[in-house]
Structure 1
Amino acid sequence: MLDVEVQTSDYRKYWLLDSEVTFLNHGSFGACPIPVLQRQTQLREQLERQPVHFFVREWESLLDEARRQLAEFLGVIAEELVFVPNATTGINSVLRSLRFSPTDELLTTNHEYNACRNALNFVAERWGATVKIANIPFPLNSPDEIISSILEQITPHTKLVLIDHISSQTGLIFPLKPLICELNSRGIESLVDGAHAPGMLPLNLPEIGATYYSGNCHKWLSAPKGAAFLYVHPDKQNKIHPVTISHGANSPRTDRSRFQLEFDWMGTHDPTAYFCIPEAIKFMGSLQPGGWLELIQHNHNTVIAARKILSEKLAVKLPCPDEMIGAMATIILPDKIQLIPSLQTQLWEKFKIEVPIIPWENQPQKLMRISAQIYNTHSDYQKLAEALISLMS
């Protein structure tokens, strides 16, 4: 039995999360609040009552309104956005649209998400281009270490840089603005894997300056699963196509761009996750008096306190400064815990704690990544610390 008092957040009532589970992994798949799910149910019933009417007469206006509100949230104009089911699809859409030559170099980092790294490798192999890896240390002391590690790998042959906004493995926030400013000055395109950023960080995409940016809405924005976006700089839209080619490729319409015509309709699917984005923005922004900015700060403060609890209880050093993380934090587990077999499974089966244990490159050390959404409390992380200590004893 753990010697820790478990407290329930007042906000937990807005989620369907199992009350017996300590859920510290919002970062993997998100968790959709009940009011947003109710909106999706309403939309699905609307669709099924008259599918032809919905897709022929209602679908496009719903799509445009969702895009308009998301664009406002991201600081862009609606014409620069299209919807995709997840950020990986957005990354694939860009990479598989671009043309490279055997002399081109495609640069990424050792922190890049495996799915997107695979897409980069696939495209490089198809064109005979070279993938280069910037090795960013972890732990690290400053964002400057990220910038210098990447810029050191730039050559006259560098064509594109694929870079995280927030690393899935380590939770690090990459210093995009100064890095992309330097890439732009050298004429190098940037493709940002922003899977975790929307809803975790305040976003203004024009200020970041990336050529391409794909982000999820089902994680920290808390929309339903299957909602994400792709931003493409207006000057590059004519060369970017969806992975699925459909009716938009030869549409005679002239009232919107070919970019949106191709991405907006890629075949029949359930589009209600996209249409729920405005409800997710509204609901999540209503949970704190200061709206989204206060929610973002609240989650950041929670994860800062949480990793301090874990570092003190487990006697491990913090791997990066507070300002380099948002609402996810990673610690390097001590050697004694590293030896515990199937640690993630044991935490789940013995303590009903859901938290990811992540291998780090080819090293024996493993990382533990915690998430902090508004429904989490400090007692959740106390319970995790006590569970780890119990497993070591």
Structure 2
Amino acid sequence: MSNTDTLNPEGNSMRDAWSIADDVTYLNHGSFGPSPCVVEQARQAWTDQLERQPMNFFLRQMEEALTEARESLATFVGADADDLIFVDNATYGMNIVAASVELKAGDEVLVTDHEYGAVMRIWRRVCKQTGAQLVVRKLPQPFVSANETAADFLEGVTDKTKLIVVSHVTSPTALTLPVKQICHGARQRGVQVCVDGPHAIAMTPLNIRQLNCDYYVASCHKWLSAPFGTGFLYVAGRRQATVKPPILSWGGSISGNAPNWKDEFNWVGTRDPAGFLAVPAAIKFLERTGIDQFRESTHQLAEYARLQIDEAFGMGDIPAPDSIDWYSSMIALPIPTGNEEQPREGHRDPLQDSLWEQFRIEVPIVHWQRRRFVRVSCHLYNCRADVDRLTDALRTLIR
């Protein structure tokens, strides 16, 4: 398949590369990104290999295969393979960080007001257990420049700040935050940084070495389209000695390799590692398509969604400035609140259910700062007709 034939936001010639049901308009890759068929096949092939001879696979093949998969992923995200471990998802990785960073009464953990709900719950609990304080820094809007946004956020750092937790791409507002500048400023101040990056992998250029953060957590099942249940945790060498595994098992190499910090995480009891081993297939799929073309095409579609939905409702005050520097393949757009009560945290907005039940459209309706947003995710199987269908459905349902 050629790039010119497939990367066309006005058509959907790549939809056949996925097994998504024909009657579904799927605009939620940012939450649960289905894998292309070739990635599904790669995962199944690894499971088949395991089932044919489990002893041979676990004792003689798995460790080397995981190393090769980790090396492929490390190259893609600009990190050293020795600094990465596979985890089930970003939330799992964030819990490892939360259990490993030493906090005491009076310490502060600094976050933005755009962070993911599960991440906030994790750090609220840790702060409650340790006596530390979770400090939420409100980012001023509208955003003007990356440097100004980072500088304003870093003004929240005090001599009590031990850790910054910041999204690379925010979940509720779909904003690309200036994490490079934030990490640089944090290092100058002697503060650790954990970047929450599940939406950044593949959607935005990433070089973890250049960020020089202490921790980076991500899910591979989103924009990279690797199998569900795949993610990674990056830990800088200076922090590896203090990282604590959430599950204790044998904690050593089963292939006789020299001990290292990853051992405690590689063998956590018996499980099927096929999803992790299929991550290179997901990387190859995007690279064959053209990663730059993927980003350009999906951003163009997100731009189209911005125009159509803003024209339909005229809400204005869109969180993301109209630039690929601030949003890429996903955009959160304000819509009228309607007459319904705001759902409790973790519960769906009735509008989201109505979009599915009446129109077979999957898209999240997000509440943030007492406002309601539709968060549109665009991948290679989407096209303008999907956005038009969503816009028409929203017009019908919001009166």
The normalised TM-score by structure 2 is: 0.91
Q: Which runs of 5+ in 2 are unaligned?
A: 1-9, 343-348
Q: Which residue of 1 aligns with 2:5?
A: none
Q: Which residue of 1 aligns with 2:272?
A: 270
Identity of aligned residues (%): 38
Q: Does 1:358 align with 2:366?
A: yes
Q: Which residue of 1 aligns with 2:382?
A: 376
Distance 2:59 2:141 in 1: 51
- TM-superposed CA distance for 1:146, in Å, is 3.5
Q: Which residue of 1 aligns with 2:263?
A: 261
Describe how 1:89-100 pairs up with structure 2 within 5 A.
89-100=92-103
SS at match of 2:332: strand
Q: Which residue of 1 aligns with 2:4?
A: none
The one-letter amino acid paired with 1:384 is L
Q: Which residue of 1 aligns with 2:200?
A: 197
RMSD: 2.1
Distance 1:17 1:30 in 2: 11
Describe how 1:145-156 pairs up with structure 2 within 5 A.
146-156=149-159
Distance 1:74 1:337 in 2: 44
Per-residue deviation, residues 353-378 of structure 1 (Å, max 9, x unmatched): 111001114x2x21110001011001
SS at match of 1:171: coil
Q: 2:93–2:232: 8 Å Cα contact kept in structure 1?
A: yes
Q: 1:167 to 1:257 in 2, by over 3 A?
A: farther
- TM-superposed CA distance for 1:138, in Å, is 5.6
Q: 1:135–1:149: 8 Å Cα contact kept in structure 2?
A: no
Distance 1:140 1:337 in 2: 30
Distance 1:39 1:182 in 2: 42
Distance 1:335 1:111 in 2: 19
Q: Which residue of 2 aligns with 1:136?
A: 139
User: Runs in 1 of length 4+ with deviation above 3 angstroms?
Assistant: 137-146, 250-257, 335-341
Q: 2:60–2:255: 8 Å Cα contact kept in structure 1?
A: no
Distance 1:257 1:81 in 2: 15
Q: Which residue of 2 aligns with 1:4?
A: none
Q: Which residue of 1 aligns with 2:299?
A: 300
SS at match of 2:139: coil
Distance 2:274 2:303 in 1: 35
Per-residue deviation, residues 159-214 of structure 1 (Å, max 9, x unmatched): 00111111110000010111110000111000011111111111110111211001
Q: 1:32–1:222: 8 Å Cα contact kept in structure 2?
A: yes
Distance 1:326 1:337 in 2: 31
Q: Which residue of 1 aligns with 2:373?
A: 367
Q: Relative to structure 2, which stretch is displaced further, 58-67 or 320-329?
A: 320-329
Distance 2:379 2:339 in 1: 26
Q: Which residue of 2 aligns with 1:3?
A: none
Distance 1:366 1:74 in 2: 33
Q: Which runs of 5+ in 1 are unaligned?
A: 1-6
Distance 2:301 2:100 in 1: 41
SS at match of 1:82: strand
Distance 2:61 2:337 in 1: 58
The normalised TM-score by structure 1 is: 0.92
Q: Which residue of 2 aligns with 1:316?
A: 315
Distance 2:277 2:80 in 1: 17
The one-letter amino acid paired with 1:267 is G
Q: 1:171–1:329: 8 Å Cα contact kept in structure 2?
A: yes
SS at match of 2:22: coil
- TM-superposed CA distance for 1:62, in Å, is 0.7
Q: 1:252 to 1:388 in 2, by over 3 A?
A: closer
Q: 2:354 aligns with which of 346, 349, 352?
A: 346
Q: 1:358–1:369: 8 Å Cα contact kept in structure 2?
A: yes
Distance 1:296 1:252 in 2: 40
Distance 2:118 2:296 in 1: 29
